[in-house]
Amino acid sequence: MQPILENYIAMANLIVETFGDHSEVILHDFSQPKNSVVYTCNNVVTRREIGQSFTEYFVKEVLLSRKFNNDLSANYMMEGEDGKKIKSSTALIRDGNGKVIGALCVNIDITDMKRVFSQFMSMIGMREETILPASDEVTVMPNIREIVDDIIDMTIGSQDVATMSRDQKVDLIRFMNDKGLFLIKGTMEKVAERMGISRVTIYGYLDEIKKSEKKTEE
| List of residues 6+ apart from 150 with CB closer than 8 A | 30, 99, 100
Residues 106-118 pLDDT 10s:
999 988 765 544 5
| List of residues 6+ apart from 35 with CB closer than 8 A | 51, 52, 53
> How far is the C-alpha of 58 from the C-alpha of 77, rounded, in Å?
12
Percent of the chain past pLDDT 70, that is, above it, reads 86
The pLDDT value given to residue 115: 52
CA nearest to 148, candidates 170, 172, 178, 181: 181
Choice among 6-10, 158-162, 177-181 with the minimum mean pLDDT = 158-162
CA nearest to 144, candidates 173, 197, 180: 180
Give the three-state DSSP class for 175.
helix
Residue 92 pLDDT exceeds 60: yes
Residues 21-63 pLDDT 10s:
899 999 999 999 999 999 999 999 999 999 999 988 898 888 8
Domains of the chain: 3-121 (3.30.450.20), 142-217 (no CATH)
User: Under a CB-based contact definition with an 8 Å cutoff, are residues 80 and 86 in contact?
Assistant: yes
Mean pLDDT, all residues of the chain: 85
**Confidence class of residue 169 from pLDDT cuts 50, 70 and 90?**
very high
Higher-pLDDT residue of 146, 138: 146
